[in-house]
Amino acid sequence: MSASSDFLSRRWVRVLIALVVVAVVLVLPLALPEFANQTLARIGVFAVAVLGLNVVMGYTGQVSLGQIFFVGLGAYITAYGVNNDWNIIVVFLASVLVPAVVGLLIALAAARLGGLAIAMVTIALPIVGVPLAKRLAEFTGGSQGTSARFSDAPDWTGLYDDQWQLYIVILIGGIVFLLTRNLVSGKYGRAFAIVKENEAVASSMGISPYRFKVLAFTIASLIGGVSGFLYMVVVQYTSPETMSFGHSIQLLAAMVIGGAGSIVGSLLGGAYYVLAPQLTNTVDPNLTAVLQGALLLLVLFLLPGGLASLPARLRRLRRRRGGGGEHRGRASATSSADVPTPVAPKGTQTERHDQS
């Protein structure tokens, strides 16, 4: 274990592994069929959404049940901008910044609250968002929703549409994951962890819980907007159903199953969000919700830290077994060493000789 850890800790090994991963990611869309590319693209979309939820819940410990609202808001802004012939860069910036500003305004009011109060505020977002999207039909298309076709592959690329869309998701999603990883592994991540652990301790250390709650919620909202933009890149259609409360709960379940407070867990959560309904529908469409609930309970029971904690769990089990065997070996050696060797009483040999 230690030798392999030392080997993987070498800089050139990490660089080589990163280059191999990048090469595989670049070649994969060219080798996979259309359905596989579309599935991977959707996984990337919702992995970004789970990542945003992880920032505010997994890393900062603040309850948020409205992340899907910001995903839907980003999708609607993207569709509106595309349909009104905005420049695509302006569309992207608007779909990211508007959810961030809305999240900031909500956080400024809600971050002073605690516990269930924050949960109730965030629950209200998708509950209010759905009827609001239906009412603002001029901008959203009403109950019928709206579509925006803007992510077809340019002729100069020589790519199919599914390949081009997957490359967009990989590029933008990869940048978001990299920036978020740098954020949570630096001083802001440490501040988030302290606020999550104990707000009183954070205050005593000069860390403002209110400030970092607002910051985390705003970043999560911004990442939700990015996910909404990518959603329109891949799906090219959105409706009020996109931001329904049921999807918000599914997003939360995906974060828990993937692993709260984990970058890798966000990727696994995105995979769960997309693949679990497909698998349960294959088993029995009438039992989809039951099977997903059972899967959630099973993961929570066996892996409280989510699927991302599985490697660490396996390492601990191996250490226990190896340590237990070593302990038993030492115990047997010690016990055998402690058993005194029988020694004949003094004079026994002489007495026998005299008797003879």
**Tell me: the pLDDT tens digits for 13-62?**
777 887 888 888 889 889 999 999 999 999 999 999 999 999 999 999 88
Cα 246 to chain centroid distance, Å, stands at 18
The pLDDT > 70 percentage for the chain reads 87
The tokens for 195 are 């606020």
Average pLDDT rounded to a whole number, residues 302-311? 87
Average pLDDT of the residues of the chain = 85
DSSP code per residue over 249-290: HHHHHHHHHH-TT-HHHHHHHHHHHHHHHHHHHHH-GGGHHH
Nearest of 255, 189, 217, 244 to residue 51 by alpha carbon: 255
The tokens for 62 are 């603040």
Per-residue confidence band for 7, with pLDDT thresholds at 50, 70 and 90: low
In this predicted structure, the answer to whether residue 238 has a pLDDT above a threshold of 90 is yes
In this predicted structure, the answer to whether residue 352 has a pLDDT above a threshold of 50 is no
Report which of residues 62 and 7 the model is more confident about: 62
Cα 225 to chain centroid distance, Å, stands at 16
Nearest of 303, 273, 302 to residue 51 by alpha carbon: 273
DSSP code per residue over 159-180: --HHHHHHHHHHHHHHHHHHHH
Give residue for tokens 């991302």. Answer: 308
What is the Cα–Cα distance from 252 to 273, expressed in whole angstroms?
Answer: 10
Burial class (CB in 10 A: 0-12, 13-18, 19+), 307: buried
What is the Cα–Cα distance from 221 to 176, expressed in whole angstroms?
Answer: 13
Nearest of 217, 242, 243, 232 to residue 91 by alpha carbon: 232
The pLDDT > 90 percentage for the chain reads 53
pTM of the model: 0.85
Please work out, in degrees rounded to the nearest 5, the angle formed at the alpha carbon of residue 63 by the alpha carbons of 61 and 67: 115
The one-letter amino acid code at 23 reads A
Per-residue confidence band for 185, with pLDDT thresholds at 50, 70 and 90: very high
Nearest of 206, 350, 273, 236 to residue 39 by alpha carbon: 273
Cα dihedral 308, 314, 316, 322 in deg (nearest 10): -170
pLDDT at 324: 55
In this predicted structure, the answer to whether residue 351 has a pLDDT above a threshold of 50 is no
pLDDT at 112: 74
Sequence-distant (6+) residues with CB within 8 A of 139 are 76, 80
pLDDT at 168: 96
**Would you put residue 145 in left (φ > 0), alpha (ψ -120 to 50) or beta?**
left
- Alpha helices by DSSP H, listed for 65-156, are 67-83, 88-110, 116-135, 137-140
